[in-house]
Amino acid sequence: MPQIPLHYVDLRTFCYATEDDKRVEAALRRFLPEEFEIERVESEGHYGDRILVLSARVENADDVRHVLAQLTDLETFDRLLAELDDRVTDNCELFLRLDKQAAFGGDVRLGEGITFRAKVEAYPAKKPQAVENAETVLEELAGDAAKE
């Protein structure tokens, strides 16, 4: 099992008044380990409409591994690897946007709806090292998934 060079992964999505919160929660759970706690915070939109913010912070190494392993299901996984330099910030954070509708259907696609943010370990804490660490762990997890 590869070491996971991430401090944490944050997943967040919004559930608007026109959406079923159970379905939106199911979409977010597509990426989380079973029975993982999801924080629910009610907010209000500009016109007074209800917005439910669903979020989860994954910090345990096995749980982080589970979340990252879900990304290996991306049809565009090679594209993700190629774009890592653009997706990792100078603060060593990896950002992705995932398709909420596809996640509800059990698929993993880049798109709109679910924000994925991960803090990548890097010593020294510089972007090139963070990109290298993220690439290494994603490739190792993809290799593990191919063996299964």
Instruction: Give the residue-averaged pLDDT of 35-59.
Output: 94
How many whole angstroms separate alpha carbon 90 and alpha carbon 92?
5
Q: What is the reported pLDDT for 100?
A: 97
148 band by pLDDT with thresholds 50, 70 and 90: low
Token pair in block for residue 18: 């026109």
Residue 46 confidence (pLDDT) above 90: no
Q: What is the pLDDT of residue 9?
A: 97
**Could you read off the pLDDT of 89-115 as tens digits, one per residue?**
999 999 999 999 999 999 999 999 999
The Cα 142–Cα 37 span in angstroms is 26
Give the side-chain half-sphere CA count within 13 A for 135: 16
Encoding tokens for residue 140? 């190792």
**How confident is the prediction for the chain on average, in pLDDT?**
93
What three-state secondary structure class fits 99?
strand
Say if residue 3's pLDDT is above 80: no
